[in-house]
Amino acid sequence: MALRLWLSLLVWVNFLGIGKDDEIVIDFWGSLATFKLLAKVLTITLFPPNIKGIDTKKIGGLFLAQLYFKYGAMNSGKSIDILKVAHNYEEQAKPVLLMTSHVDTRTGRGKIASRIGIERDAVVIDEETDIVQIVKDLPHKIYCLILDEAQFLSKKHVHQLAQVVDELRIPVMAYGLKNDFQNNLFEGSRELLLFADKIEEIKTICWFCPKKATMNLRMADGRPVYTGEQIQIGGNESYWPVCRKHYLNPPLDERGKVLAPSLDRSHVGSDEADEL
Ligand SMILES: [Zn+2]
């Protein structure tokens, strides 16, 4: 750190032209744009991102925006997290833009809804949507773009999110599932894993045991399903968050139906809870 400070000082002394012609200094201070740019460079030099104990968001928004991918299994609270983040921004009079996929049919088009009953309108993304243009056309500045159901995004749309971050300098937080019920990556999730600056897991526990849920078990008429279309629209399927063990071997009754989870979990053994 001491070396970093010393090097920064050397750069600044050199740039300010200390000991040189006064005219250089006057020119420098006359250029507000140059000053702002150098202020950013100095701040990043002194307070590089990802240093423990420094909340980079609080340093005047000088840092470059980042693309976040926050993934979790079904029912891990992704929508609740989105609504919380949006509320936190708006409480400080910082508008955000909420978006969701047209594929999500649980709540109707253009809604981000949590299981605890709170919901918000969201701009719908379909195949034709140009996310960058939508953000550019907004009548006001936004401080964050937040997306639900990001697993359903196309490669093109994930690239547009990267553009929003890199060219418009707006942070993007994309929430979604990582893997489908056959344990394959969704297209949007695969691209986000490749393109995101920050990848975070939103954790929840298995439906059957205290281990962390990392997979999604598709259920139809009480039975586990491992084949079929990745996106089932209008079916009677449901999805349960499960650990690897119970994804591969969910507890079944004599009819081959999945045993309903209950408080009595003696049938799944006595595994120690994972650290969530
Ligand atoms: Zn389990």
Q: What is the residue-level pLDDT of the chain in tens, covering all 276 positions?
A: 555 555 555 555 455 555 445 554 455 555 656 666 566 666 656 655 443 333 444 444 456 899 999 999 998 999 999 999 999 999 999 999 999 998 865 555 788 888 778 889 999 999 999 999 999 999 999 999 999 999 999 999 999 999 999 999 999 999 999 999 999 999 999 999 999 999 999 999 999 999 999 999 999 888 999 988 887 755 667 899 999 999 999 999 888 888 877 554 444 444 444 445
Which two tokens mark 95? 């508008």
Of all helices (H) and strands (E), which one includes residue 113? strand 111-113
Do 55 and 43 form a contact (C-beta atoms < 8 A)?
no
Which two tokens mark 79? 């929508």
Which two tokens mark 156? 């093109």
Place of tokens 């000991």: 19
Rounded to the nearest whole angstrom, what is the distance from the C-alpha of residue 259 to the centroid of ligand 1? 13
Between β-strands 238-242 and 215-220, what pairing exists: parallel, antiparallel or unpaired? antiparallel
Question: Of 100, 104, 157, 167, nearest to 131 (Cα)?
Answer: 157
pTM: 0.72
Specify whether 191 is catalytic.
no
Contacts of residue 232, Cβ cutoff 8 Å, sequence gap at least 6? 218
Of the listed 91, 149, 187, 254, which one is catalytic? Answer: 149
Rounded to the nearest whole angstrom, what is the distance from the C-alpha of residue 184 to the centroid of ligand 1? 19
